[in-house]
Amino acid sequence: MVMSSSHIYSKRNLDVVNINTTNKINEKRFTQNGQIQIYQSSYRGSYPSIIRDSLRNAALGRKVLLIQFMKGGVRQGVDNAVKLCGNLTWIRASHSFDQYHSEVIENNKNLKKSIHESTLELWDFCKKELQSGENDQIILDEIFLAIDMKIIDKDDLISTLENRFISGDVILTGTDIPKDLLLMANQITELRS
């Protein structure tokens, strides 16, 4: 037989159940955080299932933001996002790593600077979106490569994820994933060839 003794507890511990009845309004933004999911693979370009799932989520009415840090597009960038299914915003860098051979980037300081600035512009946009609470899902494709290339600071990513405000999931993809970020993840999926 189970007996409840909550009324006894509350009578003895009035300070615990005492409700503040003053007319003060204390507004506090409660964080609603979804999961952090990491998809890792030994090779680049192995994430079509994530893009497929983002399209399906958008078609089901969820607001999805897909950011591809290392892939560029014609007239892309933050100001030229592509909208799909009414709910999926797809953004690529205006200048990206994948548009050029790595030797060309290393030998051209202006090009390298432009790629870094374009990637940082995307990252600044992502930070605002992670704080806005306006998206149901945010996908940061190949963000770990941007960290590995020293374009995005790992500690900045960790801090941003810790302070995010999104009710849905944040999905991170990449090949070489820092241990600190693996420890933050609610789910880690390893994709094999």
- The answer to whether residue 112 scores a pLDDT higher than 90 is no
Q: So what's the pLDDT on residue 70?
A: 82
Q: So what's the pLDDT on residue 128?
A: 95
- The answer to whether residue 7 scores a pLDDT higher than 70 is no
What's the chain's average pLDDT? 79
Contact predicate 34/168, CB 8 Å = yes
- The answer to whether residue 13 scores a pLDDT higher than 50 is no
Return the CATH number of the domain spanning residue range 34-191. 3.40.50.300
Per the model's pLDDT, the better-predicted residue between 90 and 19 turns out to be: 90
Per the model's pLDDT, the better-predicted residue between 138 and 98 turns out to be: 138
- The answer to whether residue 155 scores a pLDDT higher than 50 is yes
Q: What global pTM score does this model have?
A: 0.77
Average pLDDT over residues 124-152: 92
Q: What angle do CA 125, 64, 41 make, to 5 degrees?
A: 85
Tell me the C-alpha distance between 52 and 175, whole Å: 20
Band (pLDDT 50/70/90 cuts) for residue 46 is: low
Question: For residue 22, what are its two tokens?
Answer: 């003053």
Q: So what's the pLDDT on residue 24?
A: 47
Q: So what's the pLDDT on residue 73?
A: 67
Q: So what's the pLDDT on residue 22?
A: 52
Contacts of 160 (CB under 8 A, 6+ apart): 126, 127, 130, 131
Question: What residues form DSSP beta bridges with 38?
Answer: 172, 188
Q: Percent of the chain beyond pLDDT 70?
A: 77
Band (pLDDT 50/70/90 cuts) for residue 105 is: confident
Question: What residues form DSSP beta bridges with 88?
Answer: 64, 84
Residue 143's nearest CA partner among 121, 175, 118 is 175
Q: So what's the pLDDT on residue 76?
A: 82
